[in-house]
Chain A
Amino acid sequence: MNPSPSTSKVVPLFALEGRDDDALMALSRTRREAFDVLVGRHQQALLRIAAKYLGDVATARDACQATFLEVYRARHAYRPLGRFPFFLRRVLLNQCHLVARRGGADARLAALDVAPDAPPPPDALILAEERRQLVEAEVSKLSEKLRAVIVLRYAGGHTLEDIAEVLDVPVGTVKSRLFAAMQALASALPGEAP
């Protein structure tokens, strides 16, 4: 079955002789190297967002790889409008939504976050790490809409305007979701000494 017709040009058969094969393989490698550059450029930003969304590094890595795989497969259809980072984050959030709905953000690899032979960290770092894990647990309880805004704002460091474009909603909607999410998260965080 081939209901996914190719949109690429047809290569005449006589071009596939001898050394032409090498040329075609080199062309393929060049494309892969170009995509590797793209992955290298964006992967850390995406990993931060996905890890905060899913609360688990290994699951976040899977979601990010699935994101790049989806983008790679759709590369022929991509329209160069200069909005690739927004497109990339939309695809990532969809992947995170799917993973979260499947229950993928469980604690199966949480133990990997602690290096077994590392020296004990100072108390302040332990407290900060405990707080990070506590907050991420609360983030995972937020609705998809609130969670997307929170992770894009703080893990992604994006402006409210950029978040609005990623989510295709008005900026006012982003603000109301952000404030609602912060209220929900604050209620779970113990008070701090001034």
Chain B
Amino acid sequence: MTDTRFDELVKLSEGEVTARRAEALRAELATSPTLRAEQARLEALVAALEAPAPRLEGLDLRDGFWAMADAAPAPVRSGPGLRVAAALAVAAGLALVTATAVMLRDDGVREKGASGAELTGFEAWVLRDGQVTRLGPTMHRDDALGFSYRNLPGSSARAIMVYAEDAAGRVFWFYPAWTDPGARPSAVPIGVSNAPVRLDEAVRHELSPGLLTIHALFLDTPVSVVDVEAGRVRAPRAASVTVEVLP
């Protein structure tokens, strides 16, 4: 029996052969012991794949879940570990800043955050294959991200910083970009405007699959990326959004 016949039987089981071919195969199954043996092999394989492991049914993930949730460290690391991780990522050349201008639409800047959030907000955009779309619940790991923000009259925010953290606690800087580990880039100055404002560069990082949380800090006075990672900054207005990075 050739692999081709087995493959054909798999496709038959999935309804992926033509009606004429399916009829012919069924007729052959009725008369050919060899093909029936191959069909039996397929059925045994499917049965093994469908069979649950013993003792699965008795498991209840709720047992101890909350103790684990309460005890587990927060996904955001603090202190030197975070700073080192970010510095290593930069030193390894993981941050690739693209020069592609992002043409953002002027609508739908999402508002999130604490007090004063009505005056500030940000929106994330995906640049893929030259096309810009609003960031949805998922993104590809090689997508570039661009951002727009709102800072309406009455807001005291005069600078913005945008960075992201993945589930492993790795930090990726977007605004300001941090490509030189010896530098201490500061927050990007912003003014007030009645309309959303785009940040003109999309940034691509080498991301890992999993959840990625993007943070935007709106600051009254500029601070450096080092200040943020050292925990010396508590932005009065902040917003975040979580996206799943696909493999």
Contacts and interface: CB of A to CB of B under 8 A. Distances in A.
Given A68-B65, A94-B247, A6 B114 contact: yes
Nearest to A42: B61
Interface in A27-72: 32, 36, 39-40, 43-44, 47-48, 51-52, 57, 60-61, 64-65, 68-70, 72
The bracket for how many chain A residues form the interface is 35 or more
A192 B40 contact: yes
Given A44-B57, A113-B53, A3 B165 contact: yes
A57 B163 contact: no
A7 B39 CA distance: 56
B62 A144 contact: no
Interface string B166-186: 010001000000000000000
A70 B6 CA distance: 40
Given A51-B53, A97-B247, A7 B76 contact: no
Nearest to B77: A1
Contacts of A69: 65, 68-69, 72
B33 to A, nearest CB: 5
Interface string A109-135: 000111100000000000011011011
B45 A182 contact: yes
A83 to B, nearest CB: 8
B240 interface: yes
Contact of A183 (B7, B57, B163, B213): B7
A192 B41 contact: yes
9 contacts: A5-B238, A39-B61, A57-B53, A90-B244, A93-B247, A128-B51, A132-B48, A178-B14, A186-B42
Interface of B: 3, 6-7, 10-11, 14, 16, 33-34, 36-57, 59-62, 65-66, 68-69, 72, 74-76, 78-79, 82, 112-115, 137-138, 163, 165, 167, 171, 209-211, 213, 215, 217, 228-231, 233-235, 238-242, 244, 246-247
Given A1-B82, A43-B59, A182-B42, 9 more contacts: A10-B115, A61-B59, A65-B68, A74-B242, A77-B241, A97-B247, A160-B14, A189-B48, A194-B37
